[in-house]
Amino acid sequence: MGNVNLPTPVVLAGAGLCLLGGYLVGVVAGPDTPERTIGVVESYESSTQRMCLVGDGVDEHEGADDGRLCGIWQRAGNSPRPEEGDQFRFVSILTEGLEGPEDDRVAIFGEVDR
């Protein structure tokens, strides 16, 4: 087998095509990301981080009851604390297999949409 020397631009173009192909495969075949929903803060208790959200898209989330979703807010770093009536952009998950009220098993991830 002989040595093959390719010009640098050809090697860079080939590497770029490989990266682009990998990105496209990842986008098409990768996992679906959850859509963020905007809800309105109905209540928030800072001592327990328990919040309740209402709004049009809230009813589609697991753990929602009659257009109302209550759970524990998983706060990120320096996110401002929500107040009643604030718009809140979020995703939520319902953790299975934990003891306690269902509201405590709903984890809400998000932030005030200002």
Of the candidates 37, 103, 112, the residue with the CA atom closest to the CA atom of residue 70: 103
Q: What is the reported pTM?
A: 0.64
Q: How does pLDDT run across 31-71, given as a tens digit for each residue?
A: 666 667 899 999 999 898 999 999 988 888 888 888 899 99
Question: Which residue ranges make up each domain of the chain?
Answer: 37-112
Domain 37-112 has CATH 3.30.70: no
Q: Has residue 104 got a pLDDT over 80?
A: no
Q: How does pLDDT run across 64-82, given as a tens digit for each residue?
A: 888 899 999 988 778 889 9
**Identity of the amino acid at 21:** G
Question: What pLDDT is attached to residue 75?
Answer: 81
Q: Contact at 8 Å (CB) between 75 and 54?
A: no
Alpha-carbon distance of 66 to 18, in angstroms, equals: 49
